[in-house]
Amino acid sequence: MPLSDFLGALKDNPYFGAGFGLVGVGTALALARKGAQVGMIFFRRHYMITLEVPSRDKSYHWLLSWITKHARHTQHLSVETSYLQHESGRVHTQFDFHPSPGNHIIWYKRKWIRVERTREKQMVDLHTGTPWESVTFTALGRNREVFFSILQEARELALKQEEGRTVMYTAMGAEWRPFGFPRRRRPLSSVVLDVGVAERIVDDVKEFIDHPKWYTDRGIPYRRGYLLYGPPGCGKSSFITALAGELGYSICLMSLSDRSLSDDRLNHLLSVAPQQSIVLLEDVDAAFISRELLPTENPLAYQGMGRLTFSGLLNALDGVASSEARIVFMTTNFIDRLDPALIRPGRVDVKQYVGHCTPWQLAQMFQRFYPSAAAGEGERFARRALTAHSELSAAQVQGHFMLHKDDPARAMENVANMQE
């Protein structure tokens, strides 16, 4: 029986007829829908390429900057504010604009690329309390080259910003985020410490970096701690920044008096600090007062759960185990306020006093600032300065030179009027 006859016979059958009509329309619709779906999947699979980058990935921040640069016309921005409070009370804030979550279209290498930044509302990073994010790039075609080229460009853009510069990181939740634009490297010679002090530390750090095997062979954790102590304005922080520049390292800056810092978080942060970086804990005395004073005189330090405790800090310092050299610098204005447990060898291996200017330092600074001044003028300045003032910080002297920028004679004459 030919097919048409068979269908005709079915249709004539009263029982099948009605059903046949219904089934026919339903199936056709379902088929069409299915077809469209399959077609879409097929199209996506064969004519579209996508790249998903989760926020955990190292390239995520590079890509956000890349997108910001390329999606210049987007009207939908989100802001990321970095906030950093120094012990001195000085506050740094910076606003970074990024494309907001949603879709952005970018014209790149003669292709339209859709960039979707998604934020998972249900999934929250337990460490940071921030939502999980990802960016997805979608382009037409089958050539993945375009993604490679985007990633490359994003990386180069990031590296170019960092070249010859020192990147500062601060802790944001459980991660280290670059803070502000990378700063131009400060030459070591611009920080004048007393005779041999800078050399001693630089040699020590370099020696440490060059000998990982010495540590692993002996089963000693590959880390080294330094403490610079002394009055404010004498160059502790500047020296560490310059040292990082000299080594080509970045700086992970952390304030122990940060109220949101808990034992666990500190521990985690120290273990995930970026490679080739110096962890800098400024003003360590401010976070804890020697345990003997506790808890009556400083009940705060031991207060409550989720706060940083002194033993938590010691554990975090001891626990840093890394195949990378882990360098921790601490600074304080008051070494006598520090608990001896914090500065015993293994936690602090090198202690260095950075004090008020010696005659040698004053002469050096004068000569550096006024290179054309006659030989011997530096020494004369030093003598005059120390006759008029019993102690001078390098910051004070620098401030004085700034007042007499191109005038060494006036700087010499007015030395007695130097600002306290």
Which residues are at the interface with Mg ion (CB under 5 A)? 236-237
Could you tell me the smallest distance in angstroms from the CB atom of residue 244 to Mg ion?
14
Comparing CB distances to ligand ADP, the nearer of 137 and 229 is 229
**Coil vs helix vs strand at 196:** coil
Q: Which residue is nearest to Mg ion (CB)?
A: 237
d(CA 56, CA 135): 11
Judged by beta carbon distances under 5 to 8 A according to partner kind, the member of ligand ADP, Mg ion, none in contact with residue 234 is ligand ADP
Q: Which of 55, 74, 238, 250 binds ligand ADP (CB under 6 A)?
A: 238
In this structure, the chain runs to a length of 420
Q: Does 284 bind ligand ADP (CB under 6 A)?
A: no
Comparing CB distances to ligand ADP, the nearer of 136 and 333 is 333
Judged by beta carbon distances under 5 to 8 A according to partner kind, the member of Mg ion, ligand ADP, none in contact with residue 191 is ligand ADP
Could you tell me the smallest distance in angstroms from the CB atom of residue 237 to ligand ADP?
3
Judged by beta carbon distances under 5 to 8 A according to partner kind, the member of Mg ion, ligand ADP, none in contact with residue 398 is ligand ADP
Cα–Cα nearest to 54, from 118, 102, 114, 122: 118
Long-range pairs for 246-250: beta carbons < 8 A, 24 or more residues apart:
246/185, 246/187, 246/188, 246/202, 247/205, 247/206, 247/209, 247/276, 247/278, 248/276, 249/166, 249/276, 249/277, 249/278, 249/327, 250/166, 250/167, 250/168, 250/169, 250/274, 250/276, 250/277, 250/278
**Token pair for 9:** 């016979």
Q: Which of residues 188-207 bind ligand ADP (CB under 6 A)?
A: 191-193
The kind and range of the H/E element at 197 are helix 197-210
Residue 98 identity: H
Q: Does 247 bind ligand ADP (CB under 6 A)?
A: no
Give residue for tokens 């099948």. Answer: 16
Give residue for tokens 């002394």. Answer: 230
Q: Does 395 bind ligand ADP (CB under 6 A)?
A: yes
Query: Is residue 68 a contact partner of residue 97, using CB atoms and an 8 Å limit?
Result: yes
Q: Does 392 bind ligand ADP (CB under 6 A)?
A: no
Q: Which of residues 306-345 bind ligand ADP (CB under 6 A)?
A: 331
Comparing CB distances to ligand ADP, the nearer of 58 and 184 is 184
Give residue for tokens 């390292």. Answer: 249
Q: Phi/psi class of residue 292: alpha, beta or left (left: φ > 0; alpha: ψ in -120 to 50)?
A: alpha
Judged by beta carbon distances under 5 to 8 A according to partner kind, the member of ligand ADP, Mg ion, none in contact with residue 49 is none
Q: Which stretch binds ligand ADP (CB under 6 A): 22-30, 50-58, 133-141, 230-238?
A: 230-238
Give the CA count within 13 Å in the CB-facing half-sphere of 178: 19
What DSSP character marks residue 120? Answer: E
Q: Which stretch binds ligand ADP (CB under 6 A): 43-51, 376-384, 394-402, 403-411?
A: 394-402
Q: Does 98 bind ligand ADP (CB under 6 A)?
A: no
Could you tell me the smallest distance in angstroms from the CB atom of residue 370 to ligand ADP?
14
Q: Does 234 bind ligand ADP (CB under 6 A)?
A: yes
Comparing CB distances to ligand ADP, the nearer of 186 and 326 is 186
Q: Which residues contact 58 (CB under 8 A, 6 or more apart)?
A: none
Comparing CB distances to Mg ion, the nearer of 229 and 401 is 229
Q: Which of 233, 245, 378, 408 binds ligand ADP (CB under 6 A)?
A: 233
Q: Does 129 bind ligand ADP (CB under 6 A)?
A: no
Q: Does 102 bind ligand ADP (CB under 6 A)?
A: no
Kindly give the pairing relationship between strand 223-229 and strand 326-332: parallel
The binding site for ligand ADP (CB under 6 A) comprises: 191-193, 232-238, 331, 394-395, 398
